[in-house]
Structure 1
């Protein structure tokens, strides 16, 4: 497993302070290093990035255009880390210590990130190519500096504590900021490279995300795009830690994450769908009551579509169908629909190809309340790169969003903010 790369923290702080004061000497005094050490740190970073970050003059060090890009990201990374350290140590964000980063090392943060991702000291040590003893000592040293237990034993297993989760997440977000900064430097040089990771729920990965990504790659042909799938909770966890850049799909109605904002793309209507040879296809007029005697295939409990399923029957004072098969996979849902007489609430966008091929049909049942908001979920303080911004714009105008079964409501309107855990996708 690859552990996120995070440059030497002292070097990053030396860079940031030199930019702030336009002086190596003042930066050195503030960070408690010698002037040659700060100069060497900046020179090393410039060599790694392949560009000069400052214009050296007799009156001081002045940030270049390339330097402005990376220093903005470095400052964001250091701010994220500082807040995470304060939160992990149980301190108050309103009165943080003077220099929370002073005694933290990159090696310590990488050890914690590796443990969080790998799940054990042994696997984390292998990922970092260090000894098990060194791994254990490094994490123990970080705990002493932070003043909090970062790992707790649960039975025979060690798990990150709440403080460990906070600090590991902050370290990964900081590492991602630096990575995006290097991508922006490449873009300024004329190389449209980088990577975007998109967490996608069932509807979004049928056409919404593929159409937007295909359009993006016309402008950024060399960018790396990865689309990940999984339960809602795991997709949001990846977003919060910087492992993904956005999540696209059905928005939730609960406020469970303070650091996540939801942006509405469009409102998607759900239909009652069956296979084309289903007995109910013989009728030109139907109500929801006519479906009760048939088996259904439904998404997991707690998903927006499952909630709509229950409300539709209850609001009409109807007994809910009893013979249910619960699936979390779009592939399984399609299989049950096409190969049996089961019925489903589903978006026609999600079964566009099956409907076009005549495999499924939409029953003539009027359900005006059966719709769900589709949107994109982002980290609240996220600053997107140029490619990420373009992708958001493309998601705002999804192909077919204004067709007969999907009504566009508002271009990227902020829906709500949330904190906590949630349930599966749907």
Structure 2
């Protein structure tokens, strides 16, 4: 390519010098642009080139490598030549009959090529496992209303089939866990929604419904009565969830509805074990989900007695709560389905999915 030239001009000495400098600058710029346009465009090394390279290394000849990868010998040779051109190094010394011997550059490439192909295989396997829910992580929040044995059976079932799946279980009161679900900490929640109104973008599938029970320690005076009534519970303090102040209203309204003096002493706690120990060592009363005391070991360990009274209480709907706008991951969807199946086997009342939004 011939650089453009500036027209010669007769001028004063100063103008002539300026024109000379300008012509030199244009020429230098044109030369640089020419080098850029002629510079070889580099292409990334492809995995299939490395695969064919290693086939030649392992089989010892182009012909054997071609049979291994299902290509013609010419195609494999062309692929190796393209790889050598890209790396600007000869990888093999060729001998008659297509026999090959690695050069120093070829020896240097072998471990990197094997690592690249191994990484590709691991990535494909991991992605496949995630898609099939054979691996990955699912985090579930479990409220006090939801039966623990249903969740335990569901988790046991999926871990038997998918031992590489990681499951995180976080237990607490439903109201506490709801806020953490909305913040994105959980994949979904197994909890009692009762009269809660879910915000837009979340839905609850009711698995079963259960009414609260009233309990106390076995040594409580009310536990000694064959048929205690609400009147027999007057004057005793109540243990209530700190994060659910509405339980105080329910208990108070139950006494008022019967024309009885409502309780005035309440202990609020979200510490489950501390609450159970307080209940076991004091004449307290508690209104709670039967799921919280469903475990026989828990009742016997703390000496808890369930009172045969029908009030106070709330019918709570044990539900699976999840985002209606963001699909569950394959791992979370697998656990969700396993919980539904375990509840069905348990004879829990099944209800169709329901969306309650603000």
What's the TM-score bracket when you normalise by the shorter of the two chains?
A: 0.5 to 0.7
Which whole-Å CA distance do the structure 2 matches of 1:288 and 1:401 have between them?
Answer: 36
Correspondent of 1:409 among 334, 349, 352: 349
Which whole-Å CA distance do the structure 1 matches of 2:160 and 2:180 have between them?
Answer: 27
CA contact (8 A) 2:287 2:313 kept: no
Per mean C-alpha deviation after superposition, the further-off stretch among 385-394 and 285-294 is 385-394
Q: Does 1:324 align with 2:266?
A: yes
SS of 1:228's equivalent in the other structure is strand
Corresponding residue of 2:220 = 278
Structure 1, residues 276-331: CA drift from partner, whole Å, max 9, x if none?
A: 11111221111112101212111136466555434433433332211211111221
Which whole-Å CA distance do the structure 2 matches of 1:348 and 1:238 have between them?
Answer: 24
Q: Does 1:226 align with 2:161?
A: no
Q: Shift of the alpha carbon at 1:193?
A: 0.8
TM-score w.r.t. the length of structure 2 is 0.57
Which whole-Å CA distance do the structure 1 matches of 2:247 and 2:150 have between them?
Answer: 18
CA 1:382–1:367: 2 relative to 1, 3 Å = same
Correspondent of 1:216 among 155, 158, 173: 158
CA contact (8 A) 1:294 1:342 kept: yes
Corresponding residue of 2:128 = 185
Count of residues in Structure 1 that have an aligned counterpart in Structure 2: 239
Which whole-Å CA distance do the structure 1 matches of 2:308 and 2:175 have between them?
Answer: 34
CA 1:380–1:398: 2 relative to 1, 3 Å = same
Which whole-Å CA distance do the structure 2 matches of 1:264 and 1:398 have between them?
Answer: 14
> Where do residues 303-342 of structure 1 align in structure 2 (5 Å cutoff)?
305-342=247-284
The structure, 1 or 2, with the larger RCO (C-alpha pairs under 8 Å, 6+ apart) is 2
Which whole-Å CA distance do the structure 2 matches of 1:345 and 1:285 have between them?
Answer: 17
SS of 1:375's equivalent in the other structure is strand
Q: Shift of the alpha carbon at 1:258?
A: 0.2
Structure 1, residues 113-134: CA drift from partner, whole Å, max 9, x if none?
A: xxxxxxxxxxxxxxxxxxxxxx
Which whole-Å CA distance do the structure 2 matches of 1:360 and 1:248 have between them?
Answer: 25
CA contact (8 A) 1:265 1:395 kept: no
SS of 2:204's equivalent in the other structure is strand
Which whole-Å CA distance do the structure 2 matches of 1:289 and 1:318 have between them?
Answer: 7
Which whole-Å CA distance do the structure 1 matches of 2:180 and 2:125 have between them?
Answer: 21
Which whole-Å CA distance do the structure 1 matches of 2:316 and 2:163 have between them?
Answer: 33
Which whole-Å CA distance do the structure 1 matches of 2:253 and 2:319 have between them?
Answer: 22
TM-score w.r.t. the length of structure 1 is 0.49
CA contact (8 A) 1:276 1:358 kept: no
CA 1:349–1:200: 2 relative to 1, 3 Å = closer
Corresponding residue of 1:260 = 202
Which whole-Å CA distance do the structure 2 matches of 1:280 and 1:268 have between them?
Answer: 23
Q: Shift of the alpha carbon at 1:254?
A: 3.7
Corresponding residue of 1:390 = 334
Corresponding residue of 2:320 = 376
CA 1:217–1:333: 2 relative to 1, 3 Å = same
Task: Mark the runs of 5 or more structure 1 residues left unpaired by the alignment.
Answer: 1-35, 45-180, 420-426
SS of 1:272's equivalent in the other structure is strand
SS of 2:190's equivalent in the other structure is strand
> Where do residues 47-66 of structure 1 align in structure 2 (5 Å cutoff)?
none
Which whole-Å CA distance do the structure 2 matches of 1:237 and 1:377 have between them?
Answer: 12
CA 1:359–1:184: 2 relative to 1, 3 Å = farther
Task: Mark the runs of 5 or more structure 2 residues left unpaired by the alignment.
Answer: 1-40, 48-123
> Where do residues 157-172 of structure 1 align in structure 2 (5 Å cutoff)?
none
SS of 2:159's equivalent in the other structure is helix
